[in-house]
Amino acid sequence: MPDWTLVLLELRGAVAAPHIVRLAALGVAAPLFSLWPHIGSPFAAAFGAAFLVLEPFYNNALNIWHGQLTAYALLPRPWESSLRAKGIATILLTLIVVAFFVAITAFVQPSPPTLQELSRCFEYLLSVLFPLLAIGAIVSRQQPRPGSGFGLDDAAGGMVMLIILGLVSIPWSIAGTIASGELLLLSYTVVAAAVWWYVVIPSAARRIHEQIPHLWHNTQTLSR
Amino acid sequence: MAQHTDTIALTDVVKVYEGGQRALDGLTFSVPAGSVCGFIGLNGAGKSTTVRLLAGLEQADGGTVEVLGASVPFRDPAITRRIGFVLDEPFYFDWLSAREYLNWIGRMEGLSAAESSRRTAELLEILSLPVDDGQLISTFSTGMKKKVSLAAAIIHAPELLILDEPLEAVDAVTARYVRDTLLSLAARGSTILLTSHVLDTVQRFCTDLCIIQQGRTLLQCPMASLQESVRSQFGIKEAGSLEDLFVRLVTQRSESPRLSYV
């Protein structure tokens, strides 16, 4: 069972600055990009912007706020429970932010999106969500930043996020070109979710527990 | 060798930072269960490093660190629940109000929602912290932030309190309330290890004393036998106050140096 007290804290923290500023800035920019005719799907920019906003929740999950690693390390909770709570909060946030950006994008489109287009968006979201969480569990541990804001390392983190997003979008792109692609994509999504929940989280929790002094030292050194 | 009555036991602990700086150089000391131990030393003596080792945030390069009978880092999170920490580095979420944060910590420490809320209200009142949710911790002064850390450390009335400079920047009235609260916790069996540079407080408040210098234990004894210990170990007959004694022990001089132009 996820720890809902932790999930709620993560959600509460998501609206704390500076994330909310990113949300506002990219929320305006994304629909404008969607009007650019060469971008492919009109919703591509909305997804890119949503994952840029939420990048720290995926790739800097242990240090979204200054002091978070220390606080979580001293909590009487196993890391597995904390990581599951963080993952669930990230999924909920992603659903909210993507829905928000997609809605704004749809609003500025010359014609309203069809149900099929929206369904494709949802398929895409589910297909990239769990691979992003799984990769984020590794990046968060190996490339921690002392916090999340608007520094150069955050910009670099954003670029890395877009590259990873491009890579995890490949299965969705392939599925769109082959027969029974939708079924294959659904199977892929279910397997990715199971791998994240049953393999990646326990493994990441074990490694974090073993590496706390190392992670903590890195975070402190970087924040100086 | 740690005795089973020791709540904290460090044996020959070595901690070397990058660049070869030896923060701890064979530190050995123990804190008996139920005691209030003052852990004092000059700046850079290794106090905060020791506290971080006890919290499992740093790893010793040698020796053993045991807390509540378990090796650090703890395998069982239930042990963490028995401890309250105040570290030199704050680890609260400053985008919450004091009430929200303490309530959350209470829940995390296993209190029911009602109990956490009740204790939060009491702590806010005793420590003169704002009850207004519109006032976030980020807007607090250094002293108020310290009070939030303290409140979070004691909300679950832990068996062991490890406090790094708990009264630093805290106003005199609150400091007194905090001392009384800590004494109440000690009276009901909690063990307290605290670092402080306010030696007068340490002398009046602590039952045990540990002085460290350059990462090694210089003196450890019960406060009641301080005079006797310094006489037998250092040949100092008239130790005076703890401050006088501390200055003599760590500087090898009994008078303060004077500036030539003053």
Summarize pLDDT for B41-50 with one digit per residue, the tens: 999 899 999 9
Q: Reduced to 3 states, what is the DSSP secondary structure of residue B239? A: coil
Tokens of B218: 């210089």
Count CA atoms within 13 Å of residue A118 on its CB side: 10
Q: Residue B58 is nearest to which of A74, A209, A217, comparing CB atoms?
A: A217
Q: Give me the domain span that covers residue A86.
A: 4-223
CA angle, A82 then A85 then A89, to 5°: 140
Residues of chain A contacting B, Cβ within 8 Å: 5-6, 9, 12-13, 16-17, 65-68, 70-71, 73-78, 209, 212-214, 216-217, 220
Q: Which of A9, A75, A212 sits opposite B57 (nearest CB)?
A: A212
A220 CB neighbours in chain B (<8 A) are: 89
Q: Is position B222 within any domain? A: yes
Cα–Cα distance for residue pair B139/A199, rounded to 1 Å? 41
Domains held by chain B: number: 1
Q: What is the pTM of this model?
A: 0.88
Chain B residues touching residue A68 (CB < 8 angstroms) = 91, 93
CB contact under 8 A, B92 and A12: no
User: At a CB cut-off of 8 Å and minimum separation 6, what does A109 contact?
Assistant: A34, A42
| Rounded-to-integer distance, Cα A58 and Cα A86, Å | 9
Mean pLDDT over A49-54 rounds to: 88
Whether B104 sits inside 8 A of A9 (CB atoms) is yes
Host H or E run for residue B194 = strand B191-195
Tell me how far CA of residue B89 lies from CA of A71, B84, B117, in angstroms.
Answer: 10, 14, 26
Which tokens belong to A210?
A: 């073993």
Supply the pLDDT for residue B1.
Answer: 45
Q: How far apart are CA B125 and CA B102, in angstroms?
A: 13
Report the number of distinct structural domains present in chain A: 1
| pLDDT of the residue at A146 | 81
Q: Residue B174's domain is classified under what CATH number?
A: 3.40.50.300
Q: A99 pLDDT exceeds 60?
A: yes
Query: In 3D, which of B123, B134, B243, B127 has the Cα closest to residue B176?
Result: B127
Backbone dihedral angles phi then psi of residue B24, each to the nearest 5 degrees: -125, 135
Which pLDDT score, from 0 to 100, does residue A28 have? 72
pLDDT of residue A103: 87
Q: Which of B91, B95, B108 sits opposite A70 (nearest CB)?
A: B91
- pLDDT at residue B51, rounded to an integer: 95
Task: Name the residue facing B77 among A16, A77, A213 (closest C-beta).
Answer: A77
- Find the residue in B nearest to A80 (Cα): B77
Shortest alpha-carbon distance between residue B43 and chain A (Å): 19
- Hey, what's the torsion of the CAs at A115, A116, A120, A126, to 10 degrees? 50
What is chain A's percent helix, strand, coil content, to nearest 5? 80, 0, 20
Could you tell me the residue range of the domain that residue B220 belongs to?
Answer: 6-251
The minimal CB distance from A74 to the residues B91, B96, B104 is found for B91
Within a domain: residue B259? no
> Does A73 contact B104 at a Cβ distance shorter than 8 Å?
no
Cross-chain Cβ contact A76/B93 below 8 Å:
no
Give me the residues of chain B with pLDDT under 70, please: 1-4, 254
User: What percent of chain A has pLDDT above 70?
Assistant: 92
DSSP β-bridge partners for residue B66: B9, B71
Contact residues, B window 36-65, toward A, CB-based 8 Å cutoff = 55-59
Angle, helices A79-108/A4-14, rounded to nearest 10 degrees: 40
Of B78 and A130, more confident: A130
CA distance B1 to B166: 29
Calpha distance A103→B56 (Å, rounded): 46
Q: Which residue of B has its CA nearest to A65?
A: B93
Going by pLDDT thresholds of 50, 70 and 90, the confidence category of residue A18 is low
Would you say residue B261 lies in a domain?
A: no
Amino acid A40: pLDDT: 66
Tell me if A5 and B91 make a contact (CB, 8 A cut-off): no
Tokens read off for A134: 């799984």
Cross-chain Cβ contact A13/B95 below 8 Å? yes
